[in-house]
Amino acid sequence: MRNWLLVLIAACGSDNGSLTFEQYAAQAESAYCNYLARCGLFPDAATCESAQNGVSFTNSQSAADAIGSGKITFFGDNAAACLAAISNASCDSTMTRTTPAACYGIAAGTVGSGGMCAVSEECISQECDVPSCGSACCQGTCIGNTPPMPAATGMPCAFGASTTPCVAGDFCDFQSETCEPYVAAGSACMESSDCAPGLGCVGTPETCKALPGTGSACLDEVCANIGEHCGSAGTCVKDGLPGDTCTTNADCSPYFPCDASGHCAKGPGLGQSCNSGTCFDAGTYCTDETGSAMPICAAQGSDGAPCTASDQCVSGVCAGSACVEPTVCF
């Protein structure tokens, strides 16, 4: 599922309708899990939060320090508005491919042209020219004093980028890498992301069409809603959750594969065998990555723990052969 929910997730708000950066970072996963549970991919938000749900939420110390120093301004009201838009998002996957406007206004750089910067987010222009150097964090200079604007029709864009969107009504064409108007219903398309919100790219030849909802006949075995699939009767049905009967993994939520007993079930947890290479519990990884003859789900290591890959570390950073804290740059 390639959409804005996997690119930018807002957090839960405070009582006054605004957020601090710490609130934004600390509560982000809860907001996303509420969405996944409401749309039927998890039985409840708590189960989602205990699982490897496919999205990593980290409180960037670099961003926090840059905000504290005044190099980045954090807009708590926009963060709350972004939350509201995401919390109320449609489960229809065709309606969630553009990021809500408020989510682009959560933070802004304050450093002008020629000013010192470590990352582009510190610059008004969102462009920091950092020279090559031997240290982990190199200081560069900001280029320009104009905040970035959405790319106009026909202008270059980076496909899938969350920070340089096309103007409203356009999508980023992955072939030409330019902004183009959304494809209307009945017109030819290459990808569902080419189609206007509410439409998917299906059929032979592929055209933009409205996708079916719950109980409707599938269209090329495709359904509109996340948390649904094309059932054996050829209609869109809810994905199975733990305990539901199944024949194949396709009958179940992608987070709960069909087990040998014919039921949707959690994957292996901490200490359990993980020959499939995937563990269910958050904060775990499968030791098949380390060449273990009998791999199990092991807890991620703290700083200094041995590692061969970043997913083996609580910090998400494996440097050389040990887990380390991310470098702070601002």
b vs e for 108-131, b when ≥16 Cβ sit within 10 Å of the residue's Cβ?
bbebeeebebbbbbbbbbbbbeee
Site of tokens 């996340």: 226
Q: What is the mean pLDDT of the chain?
A: 87
Low pLDDT (below 50) residues in the chain: 1-16, 160-162
Do residues 230 and 223 make contact, with C-beta atoms less than 8 angstroms apart? yes
How much is the pLDDT for 102?
A: 75
Domain extent at residue 88: 4-107
Residues 13 and 99 in one domain: yes
How much is the pLDDT for 57?
A: 61
Q: Is residue 187 part of a domain?
A: no
Angle of the 76-87 helix axis to the 28-38 helix axis, nearest 10: 20
How much is the pLDDT for 129?
A: 93
Q: Is residue 45 part of a domain?
A: yes
Output the pTM of the full model.
0.84
How much is the pLDDT for 238?
A: 98
Residues 34 and 21 in one domain: yes
Last residue of a domain, one of 49, 83, 107: 107
Measured distance CA(34)–CA(89) in Å, rounded: 11
Last residue of a domain, one of 95, 121, 148: 148
Site of tokens 């009967």: 245
How much is the pLDDT for 2?
A: 30
Do residues 93 and 239 make contact, with C-beta atoms less than 8 angstroms apart? no
Structure tokens at 125: 């222009």
Q: Is residue 71 part of a domain?
A: yes
DSSP assignment string, 176-189: TTEEEEPBPTTSB-
Per-residue pLDDT tens digits for 191-207? 999 999 999 999 999 99
Q: Is residue 168 part of a domain?
A: no
Q: Is residue 121 part of a domain?
A: yes
DSSP code, position 305: -
Residues 97 and 141 in one domain: no
* Number of independent structural domains in the chain: 2
Q: Is residue 328 part of a domain?
A: no
Q: Is residue 186 part of a domain?
A: no
Measured distance CA(300)–CA(50) in Å, rounded: 14
Q: Is residue 97 part of a domain?
A: yes
